[in-house]
Amino acid sequence: MFACALLAQLFSFHVTTAQSRVHIIPEPAEITENPGEFMLDNNTALIVTGAEKDDKDLAGTVQWFTDKIAASTGYRLQQKKEAAKSIRLEIVVNQARNRLQKEGYALEVTPTQVVIRANMAQGIFYGLQSLLQLLPPDIEADKTVTGNWPIPCVNIVDYPRFGWRGLMLDVSRHFFTKDEVKRYIDEMAKYKYNTFHWHLSDDNGWRIEIKAFPELTQKGAWRVERVGRWGTFLPPQPGEATPYGGFYTQDDIREIIKYAQDRYITILPEIDVPAHSLSMITAMPNLSCTQLQYAVGPGDSLRRKNDNVLCIGNDSVYAVLDKVFTEIAALFPNPYIHIGGDEAFKGFWSNCPKCRKRMDKEHLKDVNELQSYFVKRMEKMLNSKGKKLIGWDEILEGGLAPEATVMSWRGMKGGIEAARMNHHVVMTPWDFCYLDLYQGETAAEPPTYGICRLSDSYNYDPVPDSVDEKFILGGQGNLWTESVNTLRHAEYMTWPRSLALAEVYWSPKAKRNWDDFITRMEAQYPRLDAAGVKYARSAYNAIATPGRDGNGALTVRLSTEIKGLDIYYTFDNSDPDQFYPQYQSGQQLTFPKGAAQITVVTYRDGKKIGDQFAITKEDLEKRLTQGRHIY
């Protein structure tokens, strides 16, 4: 008997390491793969048990799951009390499973039964997400696919590291329809995200109906149409039509909130004040220091010439914001409201008589304290409506509001400072979490700015060494959309970096393994393909790093994020393939006399896998002097 048990263990180990059939993202806390499989078919029953079997949330989850299975397989799972072959969902509050808390689950698959146990309905939902990842990729198709539906036998115990696991979508720079927002939420739910940060206002569009001020959407939601690179557009011309934009009615908002709630995602609304407020000021010119009439910004270069900052000395500003946030608070169940607070150009305040009067009255020594006065007043306003304030890390300037939560984007410094003051923090440093940045070599990417590679996102940790983890709520990825004007491009910028971030925020830190993640990420690609989701393959592209040799001549080294790729190159302006010179690890390439560029491509197992790109000597020289910020 001992020999049989040992043989079974060895076989299980072989399956786990050499022939893994399980590629779940984010990586579960505990997982054991076993031999055998459960075959989903038309005879599979669904059994729902536990104290909360009639709970509305669980009933909604069961309906969502049965609809999902029926859409892809054609099988309509029937609920029964008992069956020889079943998927069993159990809510059982058990002292031994306290570590699961409200979002954790235990999943067991045997040849005759699938069992998901959890303390609460959201744990069942996350267990079902993992179960779907165990099925073949066609389970993600939006049409019925004929075939077999095996589920590998496995034991999983899983729970999140952080309670705040978010993605932000900026709908101000470019408007995304109600159905597009729902699709984005669907994609988040698959990877156990639970917070959708909705950036609803900025200089470039006001996107939410406020019944007290219909002019906000009548005027602030629309702008002139421009195509090209953001920041270079021609400013609005006198009398030019403003057809570009859109907004969500309050009924739209309620519908999307309910849609997200059904997927255990809470929506964090953001109304960005006191800066980034040009769309509000367009509708209400009296709210700025200059009180001039401006147009909604189309992405031109007049940001500092236009007064996009609310006048802190003007009492009308607070009267308007009180009504705006009254309606926001009534719509959104999230205990937090995000007030922005970032990138306020303070020059207009310095020259504004009303702001100077406010500073004198409140004994504020400078414009930083003036901004702090505004944020603290906003916190009291939100508290009076039963909400808590969260803002970007600039809200630290001049003194942090007493109970404010800080979203740290300018690196980790602001988050560290806030945590050491015993304030809660959401970590979202731009160089690890900004999804609008370049993902790889700029010559092979749509134009944007900065750089955040897949490995940057995967290898960062939200908890700095000197900070108590209890103050770090979690983190999120942020997709600003200046250069993202369609859902397809939003998906391209979001995935797969948000696969990496999902693992950062959910999985135990000790289980982080880059090579294993890449294997599991590649197993997700057929699933994304089946779902029609666009994603980037930038991590397969070569990385060109400039340098100098002993004589000061320009050199370049080549590398890849993903191991096991072959790099081929040429200096003669031709297109390299596997018959061209192959780069050897560590080589320092020097440009031949007369060569103006190097052209590079990557292969794996004899097949092209990365994008070909050419980079000039001039660009490499710039990178030497300006670093990663040249991107």
Helix (H) or strand (E) holding 490: helix 487-494
Q: How far apart are CA 557 and CA 559, in angstroms?
A: 7
Could you give the CA distance from residue 299 to residue 205 in angstroms, rounded to a whole number? 11
Structure tokens at 345: 């150009």
Question: What residues contact residue 541 under an 8 Å CB cut-off, 6+ apart?
Answer: 440, 441, 444, 560, 602, 610, 611, 613
| Alpha-carbon torsion (311, 315, 320, 321), positive or negative | positive
578 close to 566: Cβ distance less than 8 angstroms: yes
Q: Which residue has the tokens 């910004």?
A: 297
Strand, helix or coil at 131? helix
Q: Per the residue annotation, which of 240, 343, 417, 522 is the catalytic one?
A: 343
Active site includes 343? yes
What is the H or E stretch that residue 246 is in? none
522 vs 537: CA distance, rounded Å: 10
- Please answer whether residues 587 and 593 qualify as being in contact, where contact means their C-beta atoms are separated by less than 8 angstroms: no
Long-range CB contacts (< 8 A, 24+ apart) of 350-355? Answer: 351/289, 352/289, 352/311, 352/313, 353/313, 354/289, 354/311, 354/313, 354/314, 355/289, 355/311, 355/312, 355/313
Report the distance separating Cα 419 and Cα 9, nearest Å.
Answer: 45
Residues 34, 21: contact at Cβ < 8 Å?
no
Q: Is 546:554 a contact under the CB 8 Å cutoff?
A: yes
The residues annotated as belonging to the active site are: 343
